[in-house]
Structure 1
Amino acid sequence: MRIAGAPISWGVCEVPGWGYQMGPDRVLAEMRDLGLTATEAGPEGFLPGGRADREALLAEYGLGLVGAFLPVLLHDPAYDPVPVVERALDGIGEGAVLVLAAATGRDGYDERPVLDTRAWRTLVANLDAITARAADCGGLVTLHPHVGTVVEGCAEVERVLGASSVPLCLDTGHLLAGGTDPVWLTRFASARIAHVHLKDVDAALAERVRRGEVTYASAVRDGLYRPLGDGDVDIPAIVRTLEVAGYEGWYVMEQDAVLADEPPPGTGPYGDVRRSLDYLAGTVPAGPRG
């Protein structure tokens, strides 16, 4: 099936102090045991940095690489993100998607600046330059609207869509948590969607994050993201819309988690991912992947 995993579902995250970080051997083994055949790369250092070593490790578990997440500063006129993106594209190789988040320049996702006109112009220009550069070398970049980045809310997502040509990573959970209806966006911008992260969300808890009553990190720890089918995102409607529109990419099953310690085998993230995959089995169509 066109379903991949992601280390963040096992609590593996690039944010300092995020929580207990499980090792790659256990995470990859559990992905394999759950029947997954592909994964995103996770944060820097989770998998080997060299392509050959990384591919060899993934092959031990029967996994391919479908993408990599890269927070990158895009709005600062004094900073050129293109070399960083080029190195990342070269590192993941052909066939994988580089998923960009418009980083704030700060650690974590609990605070973010409001961009002025000059910063927005810089962000859009960088997105178009990166999109073109990736196409020139046969790669693909997408922009991931993400809580705690400078492209979070609905107005910011619409501004990016209207002002740039960058493809989107549709993250159903971050969109809802940031105030965008993911079903609406899927219907409105299906032609721009090149990669998908599937999450379900506790909408009431997401609203508390938007109102500033709780931090994003604490909300994730308290179960902001739910196993698919247990939250308030209409996953079947999103998948149906994408399939009718001709979407041919991967559905990356993501359920961001914060762990306090190493869970016993077969529990914790493994059980949550199993529930989500069982739900997806009747939602996402099977098909061959190259």
Structure 2
Amino acid sequence: MTASSKIRIAAAPISWGVCEVPGWGRVLDAPTVLGEMAELGVNATELGPPGYLPRDPAELRALLGGYKLSLVGGFLAVVLHADPAAALAQAEDSAALFAACGAEVLVLAAATGLDGYDERPRLSDAEWATLVETSAKIGEIAAKHGLKTVLHPHVGTHVETEPEVERFLADSALPLCLDTGHLLIGGTDPVGLAKRFPDRIGHIHLKDVRAEIAEEVRAGRLGYTEAVGQGIYVPLGEGDVDVEALVRFVHAGGYGGWYVLEQDTALGEASPVDGPRRDTERSLQHLTEIADRL
């Protein structure tokens, strides 16, 4: 399969179950993941969690080059509301690596400091102000390396719900990573957000979601990790996100960034090894068909 030439499509290791959360599930090795991306016709990827792929720039470039993959950027979940110096140091390290490998985007998330994405302590106004200030400083660090920083509203972080997304947009100048799945789970209509704030969409993660399971997570009746295990994410076109409407709108508005196929997956011992590839192939097919109609 060959991805459409009309939009820039990338993949991410999380679609193969590769996640930073302890105990998330079985982790497939990098040659399997990168090889399957390449076989599907994808030519770019995000980095994945720290330690999964090499942190040495030359080694990382060589590894990705062997699969004819370029690096889009990577996900950095750090505590922004406390100990800014530690967050800035982590950002400097990641930004330097991303830039050395030709990446474009640093995808920032406001981590809670707890393992996983199932609990969220409440922030004080002072902590929120620190979060905003620290994210701005990370944006400046990344810019010095030629990278764009986007804030990723994400389940189990301090920017998750619709009020938090709106508050961040009001208080910060950073653009967003529009993640169709995490926004929907947090109560934000991703298409509506893009229409209201077209100039704030800096990067896109495409997921499709089963709305009935998302409602269970939003209501606090189901943890995020358990929801992933129950199949909250499905291949594009098989859930309740209007992926085509979103793609059409942002494309018509001049968005020229990446569309990253990123379907959070957790692999159990009994999970079929070819499941991630099959799901990603279906998502890629759906997205390519949408792009070809643009």
Partner of 2:290: 283
Identity level (%) = 52
Shift of 1:96: 2.5
- Which of residues 162, 168, 188 is equivalent to 2:170? 162
Alignment-derived partner of residue 116 in structure 1: 124
Alignment partners' CA distance in 2, 1:70 and 1:78: 14
Corresponding residue for residue 52 of structure 2 = 46
Deviation per residue, 1:167-202 (Å, 9 max, x gap): 111100000011110011111111111111000001
3-state DSSP class of the match of 2:92?
Answer: helix
2:222 aligns with: 214
- d(CA) in 2 for partners of 1:169, 1:202: 21
1:69 maps to 2:91: no
- Contact 2:205/2:261 (<8 A) preserved: yes
TM-score (norm 2): 0.93
Deviation at 1:264, TM superposition (A): 5.3
Distance of aligned partners of 1:262 and 1:164 in 2 relative to their CA distance in 1, 3 Å threshold = same
Q: Structure 1: how far apart are the matches of 2:90 and 2:237?
A: 37
Residue 76 of structure 2 contacts residue 106 of structure 2 at CA under 8 Å; is this kept in 1? yes
- Please tell me whether the aligned partners of residues 73 and 79 of structure 1 are also in contact (alpha carbons under 8 angstroms): no
How many residues get paired? 286
1:22, 1:262 within 8 Å by CA — same for their partners in 2? no
The answer as to whether partners of 1:39 and 1:63 remain within 8 angstroms in 2 is yes
One-letter amino acid matched to 1:161: L
How far apart are the structure 1 equivalents of 2:177 and 2:38? 24
Contact kept, 8 Å, 2:64 with 2:70, in 1: the verdict is yes
Which residue does the alignment assign to 1:272? 279
**For the residues of structure 1 that align with 2:106 and 2:259, how far apart are their CA atoms?**
15
RMSD over equivalenced CA pairs, Å? 1.6
Shift of 1:286: 9.9
Match in the other structure for 2:104: 96
Q: Check 1:250–1:218 CA distance in 2 against 1; reply closer, same or farther (3 A cut).
A: same
Instruction: Report the 3-state secondary structure (helix = DSSP H, G, I; strand = E; otherwise coil) of the residue aligned with 2:97.
Output: helix
Instruction: Compute the displacement of 1:109 (Å).
Output: 0.2
Q: Which runs of 5+ in 2 are unaligned?
A: none
Partners of 1:184 and 1:136 in 2: CA distance: 32
Q: Calculate the TM-score normalised by the size of structure 1.
A: 0.95
Change (3 A) 1:284 1:259: same
Q: Which runs of 4+ in 1 moved over 6 A?
A: none
Q: Secondary structure of 2:290's partner?
A: coil
Secondary structure of 1:194 counterpart: strand
Deviation for aligned residue 1:285: 5.2
